[in-house]
Each structure stands twice: as structure tokens, then as C-alpha cells.
Structure 1
Amino acid sequence: MSKKNLKITSTILSATLMISLASFTVFAESQIYTNEDPNSTEGQYFTAEDPRGIGEFTDKEIKDGLEKSDMACEVIAIRKKSISNSKSVTAKDIAKVKDYIKKYAPDSVEDDYISKEKGDISVSAIGDWQSKNLHLPGEVQEYGNYCAPASIQAILKHKGLSKTQTELAKLCGIVPNGSGTILYKVAPALNYYNKASGRSNLSYKYYTLLPSAVQASEWNVKMADSAIATIVGNYGVVYDVHQVKGSAHYLQGYSTMVSGNIYHYVAGEGFDSSDPSNRICYYYDSNNLKDNLGDRHMHVTFQTMGVLTNDMGLVY
């Protein structure tokens, strides 16, 4: 072999090793490889054109996700009002709640959203003086890239639907230890088992709320209220998070992250808004490569979750 060829071969091997080590570091913390070979037939691969693994949503899908969020925010505002003073709820308010239930939460009831308790408390933000935790029966993900299947599994199991991560991974379009699930696949995987599909008696339907459809200044509130409205109706949500090394905002247990970027899905299971200035978001973290998460039922503020999802999205 000539020196020229040897030099080229050495350069290629060095580059390959650097890529492999970089991929391993990301994978070891985050469940997702980024910028994998787009020509591979195994799983969904993120590309330079879609480095965050969002996928291609139609205009209708984006609009539908936003319309549900708008209604969810109205419903949570009505719930806040009912908690503050149940007598202040109008017939128009009740009609809005019923419309939301009919369209998006047929398995829920009016009392889930409108408090009938007497009260006269001062509230300053949507969702204040509320708390609920579904305590999703999550399981540790079986492979490093199975955070989406594991999150979906926890939500379905809470509703009495026991599905394996292998089954759910197929719906997500991924294979063991391959790339991670693109966001576009998550809602359809959840909806695969709804009543409309004929695979259960549960009349739910999940949508995706994308930050690109919302004013940046409104994301935190719309994301939080959309999640809360879903959880109030007794269904979990999926947070698609992006953690950046050096940021002030992390999921619990990730503040010492080595990778520059960590992309991860967690299953939202609850909230506590009793402190208006510090609303809490509860979630289940399935990461099998983290041994510092205790029982994996974790929490951060909604402010932090808003930052972590503001370039990714919410499935609710």
C-alpha cells in the first residue's frame, strides 16, 4: 500500500472512530442517535434536513393540534374560575367544556373539568390550586432508543391496554439500538389502539402541538395548559425534550450530561399548580441508561419543561 493510500485509509479510520465515539456518547445518555445514515433501511433516521427528528406534519395536522390546544386553554381557564368561585361558571362555560369533552375527551366527564366545590380563593394563573398525578405504570425501556415506545406503553397501560415495547417500537418505525423515534410517529402509535381503530373501547385521540405553530412567548402557557387539560381527563401525555449542555434547564438527573445535546421522550403523568409561581410537572422517565433516577417518577417546573420542549413538541 502506498503512503498516499495509507494516509487516506488512516484518515478515514480516524474519522470513523471519532463519529462512532460521538454517537456512543449521545446514545449512552439520550436514547437517540442523530444524523445517522439516511440510506439505511433500519428504523427512522434523523438527517441534516431534520436534525431534531420532528418529521413532516401536514398543514391540517398542525392546525388540528393548535385548535385542540386553544380549546384546552379555554377549558383550563374555566376550571380555574370554577375553583375560585363555582357560582361564576356560566351556561356558556359549561357548553364549552362539554364541546371539548365531545371532541377530545369522550371518556371524561364534566366534573373532571368543572369544580362544584364552593370557594372564593384568589388565583393568578391558569391551572392554579389544582394538582393531579396519574402515577403512570411505566417500565424501564428495553433498549437505548426505546424512550418513545416506553412512554407510550406507560400511557396505554394506565388505561388498561398492555402492549409490549416491541409492538410499540414497530409502530414507531424503529429497531433495537437504532435511531430514535421521530415525533411525527408518536401520536399515530398512541391512536393505533383507540376506539376508532377497533382495537379498544377507549375513545381518545392524540394530537401534536408544535412550537412552530405557537408564538414563542405563548409556548410555555399553551404547552402546560394543553398537558394539564389532558391529564385532568385522565390521560398521560408525551413530552419531547431537548437538553443542551451548559443550559440552566435539565430533566432531573441530567445536569451532569456529557453530550452536547440530549433528545428524549418522557411520559407526562401529573401536575401541581398550588403554588402559582412554581407550577410542577410530573413525568415518568424510562431511560435505561440512567441509574440515578430512583423510582423514575420525576418532576421539574413547567417553566423548565417549557424550555426543554420549545423546539420539539407535545403529544397530548
Structure 2
Amino acid sequence: MPASALPLPPDLQFIERGWLSANNAVFVRGVSAVVDTGYCIHAEQTVSLVEASLQGAPLQRIVNTHLHSDHCGGNAALQQRWPQARTSIAPGHAQAVIDWDENQLSYRPTGQDCPRFQMDEVLQPGTDIQLGEQRWQCHAAPGHDPHSVILFEPASRTLISADALWENGFGVVFPEIEGTAAFDEVAATLDVIERLQPRLVLPGHGSAFSDVGTALHTARQRLERFVQSPERHALYAAKVLLKYKLLEWQQLPLAQVQTWLAATPYYGLLHQRYFADQDLAQWHASLVADLERSGAARREGTMLINQ
């Protein structure tokens, strides 16, 4: 059954954003809330979308499944618009938010941006949180991010899966970039999702879907390829981070792209760990060429342009 044939819970609106800004789940009845808030350059749009969904009602809660920049980049703008809203973040990074440690929060290593925001409380796996008119279960979902959570409403069997499960896979396994084994955690999180038996999945990116069995099978096949060939995941991560930045820039001189690659710490880690047999500048150039070959970017003179 297509996801469009499965109605959302009546207190919930799902806003599909694209790949630069994570999707938003907006609760419009009961305890008004938004789960995940997009990237910072879309913050004004995020505020407008939430305002339109709430139709004049105040926002009471801001919730982040994890603190990658595309999931919390609108927090500061939403807090400015609704100062009374309480912000709940996934566990593990509370002190980093208080100290605003951009290394721990991954913004400096990824070469991404996130305006500083405040947090009020931590989401605890194994507990429930009131969102809209229902209580949502909070489950740990490490792998993509060691501190990520997913949210599940058992009556409607609706799952907010963030980047733990998409219809065609899952997000980059960031701990692996840093040298921490996390593929087993991805597998364990997929097992948690299977046990929950969701009827409808609202992913962090892409459309809502209901064929969860096929999505899990696709994700496990992808994971097995990464386990068998970790350098495949490393190359995927390198290209995803570059494509993500290109979505933000839209276009940039190739010389500045190369400068950004050289200055972004995760590229140094990936090169050292997986591609040290290649000249660094040549490896950077090969990443750009891969995006061109895949149709994700095109070159016009000295400019690299998003497609």
C-alpha cells in the first residue's frame, strides 16, 4: 500500500523538505511541536512553514532526533520566534550544546554551519514524550550518529525514523569516518525498527513510506556492502558531504571548492585512513569528477554547479 493511502495521525503534519534541510514533523493539536528543523540557510522558510501549520497557535516544543546541522539548523530561528518553546535534544551532546563545542557537534569537521541555540532537556531512550495528542516512545538509534533517537507512536504505528532508515537506505555512518566501528550499531537499529513493526515511516529525508519490509531489506543489503568494503562507505561519505555543501552553495569556483575540501577535517581523516595511496589534491579532484559523472554536478568553465 502506498504511503499516500495511509493517513497521518490527525494531529500531525509531515513536511518533506529535500536533502539540504531534513523533513519536519509538525504537531498541530495538543502539545504543539516540531521534530527536526532543517538547515540554517532555510531557517526563515522553516519558521514560515511551522507558522502556516500552527495557524496562529504558539509552538510549545522543539525536538531534535540528533544534532547534525540539517536537523537542528532552524532551532535558533524557531527559538527567537517562540521563546517559550522548550527544546529537547537527543542524549549525549547536552554539554557540547551548553559549551557550543562545534567540533563535538560535528559542524567544524563537516564544514557545515549551525547558529547557536539553547537546549532545555534531553530525550531519554526508554521513556515517552508528549507530542501533539499522543505519547511517543523514544528509542536509541545509534549508527548514523551515536546519540540519535527515533520516535514511535504505537497506536497509529507511526515512526519518525530520522536518518536511521530511509526508503532507499540510511545516512552516512559518521562514527566510521572518525575511526569508531559503528556498522553493528546500524544493524542493531534496523532490528529495533523491525521489532516496532511501523505502519508508516516518516524519514529524515525523502518521502513517507509504508513498505517497511522492503526498505529494511534495501538498508541491510547496503550495510552489508559497506561492511564488506569499508572504503566504499568512505567514498560514499566523501561524496555526500561534498554534494551537501554544493546544495548550499549552488555554484562556486572550483578553486574555492578545492580550498574547502582541504580545510574540512573529515576529508583529511578519510584520505589518511582509506585513500592515502592517492595524492591528496588528485583525490579531491576525483571526488568532483565523480559528482560530474553521476550527474550531481556540472562544470562550466571554472565553476562547479549543482544539478
Q: Same fold (TM over 0.5)?
A: no
Smaller-chain TM-score range? Answer: under 0.3
Q: Which has the higher contact order (CA 8 A, sep 6+)?
A: 1
Larger strand proportion of the pair: 2
TM-score (norm 1): 0.23
TM-score normalised by length of structure 2: 0.24
